[in-house]
Structure formats: structure tokens, C-alpha cells
Amino acid sequence: MKIILIIIQSLDGFINKDQKDDLSWGSHEDKVFFRTLTKQLGTMIMGSNTYKKMPAFALGKRFSLVFTSQPEILRPAKAENIEFFKGTIKQALNYLEKKGIKNAALIGGGKINNQFLQAGLVDELYITVAPRIFAKGINGFGENKLDMKLKLLDTRQLTQDEILLHYQVLKE
């Protein structure tokens, strides 16, 4: 299965200022890019904190798999295309592959991104670098140590002040 990690971050590497941050600082152009790519991939994988922050309309018609240790406390899914998953990332990928899913967008947060990266399951990254500096916040790649090599595939200027970086993860 091909996994593509998609994040927007501040120049200093934070995806949120704090747990209450709603990403309203992201540009319209980044939101359009996110929506377009996730619709192409058809499936989104996320942690429960990311799910809680997303408005229902943002989930759209894409299938979403939400990792959670407590599925019973999350609000009931308003659409048939959202499933709560309690298990390992390997179990989740096996489940998705049995459903015939071949591509997925990994959309956060930092903890789940880190688990997928550590396991060597991410193939590509799209990182939007926003013109913001927070000095502290939530790291989009988690708190556990990573050491990965990447190959820059493309750069795109989304707005006058915002850039999109596209990387391939090099498997060592």
C-alpha cells in the first residue's frame, strides 16, 4: 500500500500551536491542495485528535480510518465512510488492503505520523511550509527520534509566502 503523508507546518516545524489550534492559519490554497490530493487517494488515515478537530464537511466522501484507543468516546460517525480503529498500524494496513485500498493519505497528528515513519511505511511526503513561526507547539513528526533520508521530487509555490515541498522517502 502506498502511504502519502500530508502536513502543513510553520517555518519552525510545528503543525499546531497547541491542542486547541484549528489550523485556521493555513491558506485557502493549501486547503484546496489537501482536498484535491486526499480525494485522489480516496482514503485518509488519522489519529483521534486530528479527527476531533476536523469539521464533518472536511471528511467529504473519502474513506477515513481513525486510530483511537477509546472508540466508544468519539462522536458517532455521521457517515458510513468513517471507521474507528483500535489496533496496530500493521493491523490497520492489513484491514485496508483487505478492503482493496491501495493508496492512503496520512494526515496526522504527530504521534501517528511518527509511528508510520518509524515503521518505514510512508512512501512520500507533501509538506506545506506556512509563513508562520510559533517557537513551540506540536511537532508534525512526533516526539520519537527519526533518521530518514528524503529525495526532493518537486516544489511549488502555493501563495506568495507559502511553499509546498514534495519528497520521496528513501528506503535504506
- Classify residue 27 by burial, with Cβ atoms within 10 Å: 0-12, 13-18, 19+: middle
Q: What is residue 111's predicted lDDT score, i.e. its pLDDT?
A: 93
C-alpha separations of 56 from 64, 66, 100 in Å: 11, 13, 25
Q: Each residue of 57-91: pLDDT tens digit? A: 777 778 999 998 877 666 665 556 888 899 999 99
| 26 domain residue, yes or no | yes
Residue 118 in any domain: the answer is: yes
**Cell numbers describing residue 107:** 494526515
User: pLDDT (tens digit, 9 = 90+) per residue, 22-64?
Assistant: 778 889 999 999 999 999 999 999 998 888 888 777 777 789 9
The structural domain count of the chain equals 1
Q: Which DSSP symbol is given to 73?
A: G
- Beta strands 162-170 and 149-159, pairing class: antiparallel
Give a yes or no: residue 75 inside a domain: yes
pLDDT value for 77: 54
- How far is 61 from 36, CA to CA, in rounded Å? 12
Give me the CATH number covering residue 83. Answer: 3.40.430.10
Q: How would you label 28-43 residue by residue, b for 16+ Cβ within 10 Å and e otherwise?
A: eebeebbeeebeebeb
In sequence order, what are the beta bridge partners of 65? 45, 83
Tell me the per-residue pLDDT of 105-134, one tens digit each, with 9 for 90 and over. 999 989 999 999 999 999 999 999 999 999
